[in-house]
């Protein structure tokens, strides 16, 4: 696998991967697919070295994006600059092959050099695969927000997992 900074030409593939998970109601609170145009400002916000957006390609197919990850601002106040939310999404055809574990490991490794000391993951309580992934990487539960999301008429919990990566 190869990890590289995303470029604007990657945005359609990033959006396609994101939109592939919307119908499953497991990973995102978006209820409808997003458009490339609607994600341009989000993409631009990730041109900040401390809030990168990466894409993953397989070494045998370097032009084909099979996943992406980003560090997102946790809270827009200066005291929280060292804390980020992790976003991590994989194409359906590569899930279950260890790529999520590999990608999360790269994010944990790179965070301290960017001035990041704390990583958070916001995961629905019914998303057991993601909860297992983050917990296997050392994340622990920092918050449990019961019934804060409504997906297709079903109230869902949000679990905030966290990991301190630097003193």
Identify the structural domains of the chain with CATH numbers, from first to last.
2-164 (3.40.630.30)
Q: Which DSSP symbol is given to 74?
A: S
Q: Which residues of the chain have pLDDT under 50?
A: none
Instruction: Compute the mean pLDDT over every residue in the chain, rounded to the nearest whole number.
Output: 95
122: number of Cβ within 10 Å = 18
- The predicted pLDDT at position 113 comes to 96
- The predicted pLDDT at position 99 comes to 94
DSSP secondary structure letters along 110-149 = HTGGGT--EEEEEEETT-HHHHHHHHHTT-EEEEEEEEEE
- The predicted pLDDT at position 61 comes to 72
Decide: helix, strand or coil at residue 80. Answer: helix
Contact 59, 1 (CB under 8 A): yes
> Which pLDDT tens digit goes with each residue over 1-44?
899 999 999 999 999 999 999 999 989 999 999 999 999 999 99
- The predicted pLDDT at position 155 comes to 97
């Amino acid at each position: 696998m190869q990890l590289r900074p995303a470029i604007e030409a990657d945005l359609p593939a990033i959006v396609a991967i994101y939109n592939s998970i919307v119908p499953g109601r497991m990973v995102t609170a978006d209820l409808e697919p997003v458009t490339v145009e609607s994600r341009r400002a989000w993409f631009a916000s990730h041109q900040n070295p401390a809030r990168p957006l990466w894409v993953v390609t397989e070494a045998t197919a370097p032009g084909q994006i099979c996943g992406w990850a980003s560090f997102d601002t946790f809270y827009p106040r200066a005291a929280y600059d060292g804390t980020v939310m992790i976003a991590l999404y994989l194409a359906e055809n590569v899930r279950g092959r260890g790529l999520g574990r590999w990608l999360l490991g790269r994010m944990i490794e790179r965070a301290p050099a960017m001035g990041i000391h704390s990583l958070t993951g916001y995961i629905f309580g019914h998303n057991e695969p993601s909860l297992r992934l983050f917990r296997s990487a050392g994340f622990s539960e920092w918050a449990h927000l019961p019934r804060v999301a409504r997906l297709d008429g079903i109230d869902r919990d949000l679990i905030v997992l966290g990991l301190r990566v630097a003193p």
